[in-house]
Amino acid sequence: MLNFITDLTFNWLKYAKQNTKLWLSCLLLSIPLCLILNISNIHSQFLSADYTAINNIHNIKQVYLSDTQNDLPVDEYIFDEITVLHPDLVGVFERSIDLSLKLSVNHDSEAVKVSFISGGYKQLGIIPALGSFEQLDYPKQGSAISAAISYSFWHTHFKGVTDIIGKQLVVNNKSINIVAVMPKEFKSFKRAYEPKLVIPYSQLKRILPQESNLTPDTFTYILGNVKNKTLFLNLLNKHLQNEMFIFDNTELKFSDGIGVNPTHFNKIIKRLNLLQLLYYILLSFSFIAFCAFYCAESIKKQQEETIRKLCGANNTHIFVQQIIDIVLTSLLLIIVMCVFYPLSDSISAILLPSLNQQSSSFSLFTLAVFYIVIITCLSALNYFQRKWIHSSVGRGQSATTSEKIQVFSLLSLLTSLAITSVYISSLVIYSQINLNNKNVGFVADNILIASFSFPQSPSEAFNANNSAQQLIQQLNSLPIIEEVSLSSAPPLSKRSGFSSWYTVTGQAISAGKNASTASHRVSPQYFKTIGAKLISGQSVQWQQYQKVVVNKALWDQYFASTELSQAYLLAQFDTGKVKHKVVGVVNDIYNEGADTPVQPTVYSVISALTGFETIIIKTHAPITQVEKELQKAVKALSVNFNDLSLTPLSSLVKNEQAPRNALLVITVVCSSILLLSAFLYNYSSIKQLTAKSSTELALRRAMGARSYQICYLFLKLFFTAFVITHIAIIALFFTQHKKLQTFLFHQSVFDLSTILTVHLVILLVVVCIIAIEIKKTLSNSWNNLT
């Protein structure tokens, strides 16, 4: 028996070595399997909480307030209401900021990552390595500012000495007491941000008095056991809307991506889900194609088995042969997957550059599971093939009715899937093209972004009167510069600024009562420099500190029926609210990219340089020449602005568009693979069927049948199976089409011209393949009758 098994194994290896279709089928099936496995791994990593030293991670939920344009943190009064309804739940605020640190007054400044958090250490199961969190959880009014330092900071700056508690640090010129050391396992309250200091959120205002109480970059969490998240949010939103009258087209939501900005998280998840959709479509098609190939090969093997039985082989020998074939075919598919999988990592890195991917190689357990599943599928396919499909052997053999039904059923399913898949891919392609062609509100050509290192403390900032105007005048005198302006948050810079703005009726320009509005400070020529279009009115001017420009998103939401001459906003200051005149409306500028909603934004004039500004330069000169001239101009104004760096705005746009372009390329590749494979498998199967039916076709021709009549017999069988299959596929598409709409931008799910084009092209090609193969067989019919 061992020799018999060895002989069968070597025979299979010879068969596999020469069978190009086998390798192609395995490759076609392994590609989507690897891509789906890779994307699923990234999906699970991205959804997983990036916390450490938290024992009861299931008790933390990131919550935010969502409307049509913004994802904002939850206001404190909403947390108060939640606590009244659910006393066992705790609301937590967290904000991460880079600040300046001095180990003592005499030390030099250095940048330090700081997390301001309102508490919840006990609920999260975080136990300090040294000291106590009591003063962080319950800071007393007027007490000294307290902080916990990270374990790495403790060892790096203090060599791990145990008498660290009570020592002081200087953060932004404020003295801070060290009251605890975070545990060694603790990493972060926020993904990809490892703080060195943890300070109570209530003391943020004392360190940064110019900051608002609640800004959109604040994260909010609910700590406690929420058993049914959907029911909890439905009841809570209904209560807040009916009892407190505080929401207007907004609702509270939980984010699955704990420690990630909800807007950013939803954008990444949408891309991941779109990729999964494309890969699952490819997998469905590849699986049917693999089944079509395997069934065709099974017919040949059935004939071989019949001959072997006539030569003396018993049922055991035949069974062993089938088992060896299934086991080795499954093993080949697993080997191809292992070879291709590393490439899927590279593809995902291109598509999702914003994710810091971890090692995503699959384990031996995963391989074993895949191997068992593949063996099970092939065994089932092999069993039903031999039970339902009957094949004849001999010189006068012809395709049996069961073989014809099998071939045309698989071909119709393959063709139907190809039509549906190519149509969906076409919609995605149109959507991505629409998104890439979307007007982002600025022109990136010949624009340079000049940034500087920030002053380490407010005392080092350059706050002389008219300093911003002086810098612009100095730069305008340079012949290589065509236009120049300043901005605190230029396009795609990932900078942000927030202030509290209200309408004259007291309505906050925000989804919540206390969350701040995006507020950018610009110079008068900013919109002209970046090519942003003023819809109405004019830009801000120097010295006009009580005049502002708003973007279209803000105007449409709060001033839709107002004349520009009657439009005013109120800005919140320590002394009260100050009235500002809206002098212009600018087209929306997409600061984070085309597929991120625009926030209502207020633009005010820059009063003086503080080091947080960015210079926007329009020029055709080389970047090195511009950098030299800029260095001289800035140093002449102030020596505090260091680390000058220039970045072409076009390169930022290119980086922002890279994932969308990669999605577009992947979609085109998937569609191409589907079409090519569909035509190849149609051609191969029809050629096999016509060759096996050659005697039958020759007899029909000899009896006087015309070529078109013979073609009609084949086409009738094909279209009968196709109509039945296609109706089922279309019905499935109709039940799921709403899910597809979420991935489309300015593109309808039902595009009649595309539907007709895809159907006509693919069906016409299939009909041509059938007609050509039958014509070729009939042209040689005399040979099939000898």
Asked if the model's pLDDT at residue 586 lies above 90, the reply is yes
Identify which has the larger pLDDT, 315 or 255: 255
| Same domain? 474 vs 545 | yes
Band (63; pLDDT cuts 50, 70, 90): very high
Residue type, 135: Q
pLDDT at 48: 65
Instruction: Kindly list the distances between the CA atom of residue 566 and the CA atoms of 397, 501, 559, 561, 610, in Å, as whole numbers in the listed order.
Output: 90, 17, 9, 10, 32
Q: What is the mean pLDDT of residues 527-543?
A: 91
| Nearby residues of 511 by Cβ (< 8 Å), 6 or more positions away | 65, 66, 67, 70, 72, 250
Q: Which two tokens stand for residue 71?
A: 């994802």
Band (758; pLDDT cuts 50, 70, 90): very high
pLDDT at 356: 53
In a domain, 267, yes or no: no
Identify which has the larger pLDDT, 637 or 156: 156
pLDDT at 461: 45
State the pairing for strand pair 576-586/197-200.
Answer: unpaired
Q: Which of 609, 629, 654 is the last residue of a domain?
A: 654
| Same domain? 310 vs 365 | yes
Report the residue count for the chain.
786
pLDDT at 459: 46
In angstroms, the CA 449 to CA 427 distance is: 36
In a domain, 309, yes or no: yes
Asked if the model's pLDDT at residue 228 lies above 50, the reply is yes
Count the Cβ atoms, other than its own, within 10 Å of residue 110.
Answer: 12
HEC profile for 435-491? Answer: HHCCCCCCCCCCEEEEECCCCCCHHHCCCCCCHHHHHHHHHHCCCCCCEEEEECCCC
Asked if the model's pLDDT at residue 457 lies above 70, the reply is no
Count the Cβ atoms, other than its own, within 10 Å of residue 160.
Answer: 13
Q: 3-class SS at 126?
A: coil
| Same domain? 114 vs 222 | yes
Q: What is the mean pLDDT of residues 310-330?
A: 79
Instruction: Kindly list the distances between the CA atom of residue 674 and the CA atoms of 33, 91, 503, 745, 755, in Å, as whole numbers in the listed order.
Output: 15, 50, 55, 23, 16
| Same domain? 70 vs 200 | yes
Greatest mean pLDDT among 300-309, 344-353, 403-412 = 403-412
Asked if the model's pLDDT at residue 393 lies above 60, the reply is no
Instruction: Kindly list the distances between the CA atom of residue 600 and the CA atoms of 36, 211, 247, 746, in Å, as whole numbers in the listed order.
Output: 38, 19, 17, 22
Identify which has the larger pLDDT, 643 or 238: 238
Identify which has the larger pLDDT, 29 or 691: 29
In a domain, 659, yes or no: yes
> With contact defined as beta carbons under 8 Å apart, do 510 and 551 qualify?
no
In angstroms, the CA 386 to CA 406 distance is: 12
Identify which has the larger pLDDT, 596 or 547: 547
| Same domain? 66 vs 165 | yes
In angstroms, the CA 229 to CA 61 distance is: 9
Greatest mean pLDDT among 325-329, 464-468, 547-551 = 547-551
| Same domain? 132 vs 253 | yes
In angstroms, the CA 359 to CA 362 distance is: 9
Q: 3-class SS at 180?
A: strand
Q: 3-class SS at 513?
A: coil
pLDDT at 53: 52
Identify which has the larger pLDDT, 298 or 611: 298
Max CA distance (Å), the chain = 108
pLDDT at 584: 93
SS3 content of the chain, % helix, strand, coil (to 5): 50, 15, 30
Identify which has the larger pLDDT, 782 or 271: 271
Q: What is the mean pLDDT of residues 30-36?
A: 83
Nearest alpha carbon to residue 530 among 440, 624, 625, 595: 440
pLDDT at 153: 92
Ramachandran sector of residue 215 (left: φ over 0; alpha: ψ -120 to 50; beta: rest): beta
Asked if the model's pLDDT at residue 77 lies above 80, the reply is yes
State the pairing for strand pair 576-586/547-551.
Answer: parallel
317: Cα separation from own chain's centroid: 53
Q: What is the mean pLDDT of residues 459-467?
A: 53
Residue ranges making up the domain that contains 632: 447-654
Identify which has the larger pLDDT, 131 or 141: 131
> With contact defined as beta carbons under 8 Å apart, do 439 and 745 qualify?
no
pLDDT at 177: 92
In angstroms, the CA 725 to CA 748 distance is: 25
In a domain, 269, yes or no: no
DSSP structure class, residue 152: H
| Same domain? 74 vs 144 | yes
194-203, 275-284, 311-320: range with lowest mean pLDDT? 311-320
- 402-444 pLDDT tens trace: 777 777 888 888 889 889 989 998 999 999 888 888 888 899 8
Count the Cβ atoms, other than its own, within 10 Å of residue 716.
Answer: 11
| Same domain? 491 vs 629 | yes
DSSP structure class, residue 616: E
Identify which has the larger pLDDT, 359 or 444: 444
Count the Cβ atoms, other than its own, within 10 Å of residue 652.
Answer: 19
| Same domain? 216 vs 319 | no
Q: Number of folded domains in the chain?
A: 4
Band (642; pLDDT cuts 50, 70, 90): low
Q: Which two tokens stand for residue 754?
A: 């595309």
- 165-182 pLDDT tens trace: 989 998 888 899 999 999
What is the DSSP code string of 33-89? HHHHHHHHHHHHHHHS----S-S-GGGEEEEEEE-SS-EEPPPHHHHHHHHHH-TT-
| Same domain? 650 vs 669 | no
pLDDT at 165: 92
HEC profile for 135-174? Answer: HHHCCCCCCCEEEEECHHHHHHHHCCCHHHCCCEEEECCE
64-68, 180-184, 508-512: range with lowest mean pLDDT? 508-512
| Same domain? 243 vs 186 | yes
Q: What is the mean pLDDT of residues 395-408?
A: 68
Band (641; pLDDT cuts 50, 70, 90): low
In a domain, 712, yes or no: yes
Q: 3-class SS at 246?
A: coil
In angstroms, the CA 752 to CA 750 distance is: 6
Helices 649-692 and 694-702: crossing angle, nearest 10°? Answer: 60
In angstroms, the CA 733 to CA 327 distance is: 35
Q: What percent of the chain has pLDDT over 70?
A: 87
Band (515; pLDDT cuts 50, 70, 90): low
Band (338; pLDDT cuts 50, 70, 90): confident
| Same domain? 550 vs 567 | yes
Q: Could you give the count of Cα atoms lying within 13 Å of 113 in the half-sphere of its Cβ?
A: 13
**Residue where the block lists tokens 């069968």:** 8
Q: Which of 616, 639, 654 is the last residue of a domain?
A: 654
Nearest alpha carbon to residue 666 among 191, 411, 347, 203: 347
Q: Which of 654, 686, 713 is the last residue of a domain?
A: 654
- 105 phi and psi, to 5 degrees? -60, -30
In angstroms, the CA 90 to CA 121 distance is: 11
> With contact defined as beta carbons under 8 Å apart, do 298 and 304 qualify?
no
Band (371; pLDDT cuts 50, 70, 90): confident
Q: Which two tokens stand for residue 273?
A: 């889900």
Asked if the model's pLDDT at residue 528 lies above 80, the reply is yes
Is the entire prediction scored with pTM above 0.95? no
Identify which has the larger pLDDT, 682 or 246: 682
Asked if the model's pLDDT at residue 257 lies above 60, the reply is yes
In a domain, 264, yes or no: no
Asked if the model's pLDDT at residue 391 lies above 70, the reply is no
In a domain, 163, yes or no: yes
Q: What percent of the chain has pLDDT over 90?
A: 16
| Nearby residues of 542 by Cβ (< 8 Å), 6 or more positions away | 466, 469, 523, 524, 605
Residue type, 159: K
In angstroms, the CA 123 to CA 133 distance is: 12
Nearest alpha carbon to residue 390 among 381, 379, 399, 382: 399
**Residue where the block lists tokens 């509290």:** 500
**Residue where the block lists tokens 């260091």:** 642
Residue type, 6: T
User: Taking the C-alpha atoms of 567, 571, 576 and 579 in order, what is their torsion angle to the nearest 10 degrees?
Assistant: -30
Instruction: Kindly list the distances between the CA atom of residue 42 and the CA atoms of 47, 220, 349, 418, in Å, as whole numbers in the listed order.
Output: 8, 25, 10, 28
